């Protein structure tokens, strides 16, 4: 059996009840085979990166210990996006019901047609770095950069950490 690795998954939504979309996705991620959720960050409310004529986003990060390969994990996450009603079309910077992105997969660097890990934008996105630093304050990227350093230095762009629901 393949070794366990810890993968970090970024969640984002700004359509169809974003808070509910992200919580539902977290539940579904918890039932991915050969895997278990080891941390779930607080939810954040963030300003859209890209065109500003779209609603604010809910973002969060999950740490998942998994024996799936990176591509098997990608398949599982894309199935969850599709179930949420995500339409894959030409809207790279547009509103979306649900994004589940593999940010990190252990300490690996992956570059192929389907997947780039570390996620290409993660070093410059406050809505990734802040929730990631909440659950993995000592984590280093494969290139050795501390996540905490990036999180401390990024412009927070008006992001708000939401209080935990009672
Ligand atoms: N902006 C924010 N704030 N959060 C996201 O998750 C997000 N996802 C995207 C783009 C359109 C780049 N903007 C985003 O895919």
Neighbours of 17 (CB within 10 A): 12
Domain count, the chain: 1
Q: Which of 44, 46, 48, 62 is the best mutation target for the ligand 1 pocket, counting ligand atoms within 8 Å of the beta carbon and taking the most? A: 48
32 alpha carbon to ligand 1 midpoint, in Å?
Answer: 24
Among protein residues, the one with the nearest Cα to ligand 1's atom 9 is: 93
Taken as a whole, the chain contains a residue count of 166
| 143 in a structural domain | yes
- In a structure prediction context, what are the per-residue pLDDT tens digits for the chain, which is 166 residues long? 689 999 999 999 999 999 999 999 999 999 999 999 999 999 999 999 999 999 999 999 999 999 999 999 999 999 999 999 877 666 778 899 999 999 999 999 999 999 999 999 999 999 999 999 999 999 999 999 999 999 999 999 999 999 986 5
Question: What range does the domain containing 142 cover?
Answer: 5-161
Which helix (H) or strand (E) segment holds residue 59: the answer is: strand 57-66
pLDDT at 89: 65
- Give dist(CA 163, CA 97) in Å, integer: 22
pLDDT score recorded for residue 2: 82
Q: Does residue 166 fall inside a structural domain?
A: no
Cis peptide before 101 (omega within 30 of 0): no
Burial of 158 (0-12, 13-18, 19+ CB in 10 A): exposed
CATH code for the domain of 117? 3.30.70.560
Helix or strand (DSSP H, E) at 101: strand 99-105
Residue 87 · residue 79 · CB < 8 Å: no
In a domain, 30, yes or no: yes
């Amino acid at each position: 059996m393949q070794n366990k690795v810890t993968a970090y998954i970024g969640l984002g939504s700004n359509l169809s009840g974003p808070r509910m979309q992200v919580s539902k996705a977290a539940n579904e991620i918890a039932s991915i085979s050969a895997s278990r959720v080891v941390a779930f960050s607080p939810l954040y409310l963030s300003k859209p990166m890209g065109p500003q004529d779209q609603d604010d986003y809910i973002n969060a990060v999950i740490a998942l210990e998994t024996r799936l390969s990176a591509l098997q994990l990608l398949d599982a996450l894309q199935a969850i996006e599709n179930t949420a009603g995500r339409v894959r079309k030409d809207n790279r910077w547009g509103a979306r019901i649900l994004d589940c992105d593999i940010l990190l997969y252990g300490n690996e660097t992956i570059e192929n047609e389907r997947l780039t890990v570390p996620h290409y934008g993660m070093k410059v996105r406050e809505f990734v770095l802040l929730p990631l630093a909440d659950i993995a304050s000592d984590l280093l990227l494969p290139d050795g950069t501390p996540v905490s350093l990036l999180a401390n230095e990024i412009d927070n762009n008006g992001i708000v950490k939401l209080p935990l629901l009672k």
